[in-house]
Structure 1
Amino acid sequence: MIEEVDLMIDNARLRDELEPYRDDSIDDPAMARMPLKLENEYLSSILAWERAPALPIRDWFNPPLHIPPPESLADDSLTARLHETIERLHSQSIVLTCTDHLSDRELYRLIYRDILPCCEKKIDGTGNQLEYRCVDDTETWLTYYADAVERRRFQEEHQIELPIARKPRYRRELP
C-alpha cells in the first residue's frame, strides 16, 4: 500500500513537471491501461527528453570529438581512424546502421560532415540509444537493405519499378 502511495505521489510530481511541455504524448489514452510504475517510467522518459540539451554530437564527448578531415588521411590510416571513431560513437550509445554500401572513406566522410556536427538531444541513462541510418535516399535502401517483403510493399504502394536488389560491397561488423 505504501509503495502504491509513493507511485501516486511520483506520478503527480512528474505530471506537474511536465505541464509546461504538455501535448498528446502525455495524455495518451493507452496510459490509462498502464500500471502506475510503468506510467511513471514513461513520464520520466518524456521529461528527460524535454530537458535534454540539443548538442552537436561531437560535443557529447569530453573533450569534444574532432577527427581529421577525410582528404588529409591516407587509406590505411583512414580505416584505422574510422574504426576508432565508430567505437567512440558507440561509447556514447550512437549506433550506425546501413553502412555496408559505403566505402571506408565514404563512411568516414559521412561521420565527419553529417554526423559529428549534427545537433541531437543527449539523454543520459541506460537504454537510450541514437541510431543513425547511413542511407540518404529510398533507392539506396531498396537496393541494399530492404527485404523482399519491404520491396514488394513499396512497389505496390508507389507503383514504380524497383532498382535491382544487390548485396552491399563493404560488409562490416559494427558495435
Structure 2
Amino acid sequence: MAKDDEKDRKARIENLQRKIEEMTGEKPISFGSGRCSPELKEKFWEYVLAFEEGQHSPLFDTLVNGGLSLPTPDELADQDLEKKLWEIIYALALLGVFLHNTDHLNDRELYEDLWQDVLREDYFIQPANKDYACHLDMIGSGSEEDLLIFLQYYADEGEREWWKNEYPQDDFPAPEPTPYDRDRHLPKREEWEEGQC
C-alpha cells in the first residue's frame, strides 16, 4: 500500500472512531493481535459505527411488522405449535438471526422463552448485510442456571473438566444427552447464504 493510502486509511479510521466517541460519549477501544490488516481494521470500525447508528428494536416487533402472527403461548394449540415455532425460526434466519442451544427445551418451552423474553429484547439487525449475523444462545445469559444447563447437556468432557478444576467446591450436574434434537436442524448463517435452507 502506498504511503498516501496508509495515511488516508489511518485518517478514515480515526474519523470513524471520533464519530463513535461522539455517539457513545466514550473513547472506543479494541483488542487485537496486531496482525490485523489496515483494511480489516477499517471494516471493523465501519461495523461498530453502523451498529451504534443503527436502530435497535425488539425482534418481536420486527417479526409482527413483517407480517408474522405471534399468538400468546396460551392461544397456541399443541398441534399448531411446531409449525409456528419453525415459522419463527426461519423468519429470524431471514433477518440474520440464528438460535443456538435449544435442545434442552421442548417446543412449548422454547416458544414461551422466545415469546416472553428473547424476542422482547432490543437487537440491532442488518438483514441485507451478508457479513452480519445475530446469534441468540438460549443459555447465553451468564446465569448460574444457564451454566448448569450448559454443563449438563452441552459441555464436552474437556469443558466439564475445566469447570471442575476452576471451581472444585461446586457440584455440577452429571452429563446427560439432550432430550430433544432440534439444534442440528436450525438454520446456520453459512447455509442460509448458500440457499441451502
Total equivalences in the alignment: 173
Q: Distance in 1 between matches of 2:122 and 2:67?
A: 13
The yes-or-no answer on 1:54 pairing with 2:56 is: yes
**So what's the TM-score if we normalise by structure 1?**
0.85
**So what's the TM-score if we normalise by structure 2?**
0.76
- Measured after TM superposition, the shift of residue 121 of structure 1 is 2.4
Q: Which runs of 5+ in 2 are unaligned?
A: 140-144, 188-197
Q: Distance in 2 between matches of 1:134 and 1:42?
A: 27
Match of 1:149 among 149, 155, 158: 158
% identity of equivalent residues? 28
Match of 1:122 among 109, 120, 125: 125
Question: 2:16 — aligned with what?
Answer: 14
- In structure 2, what residue type is equivalent to 1:75? D
Question: 1:85 — aligned with what?
Answer: 88
Question: 2:190 — aligned with what?
Answer: none
Question: 2:66 — aligned with what?
Answer: 63
Question: 1:134 — aligned with what?
Answer: 138
- Measured after TM superposition, the shift of residue 57 of structure 1 is 1.1
Match of 1:106 among 101, 106, 109: 109
Does the 8 A contact of 1:98 with 1:134 survive in 2?
yes
The yes-or-no answer on 1:174 pairing with 2:178 is: no
Q: Which runs of 5+ in 1 are unaligned?
A: none
Larger relative contact order (Cα-Cα within 8 Å, sequence gap ≥ 6): 1
Aligned Cα RMSD in Å?
A: 2.3
What is the DSSP-based 3-state SS (H/G/I as helix, E as strand, rest coil) of the residue aligned with 2:90? helix
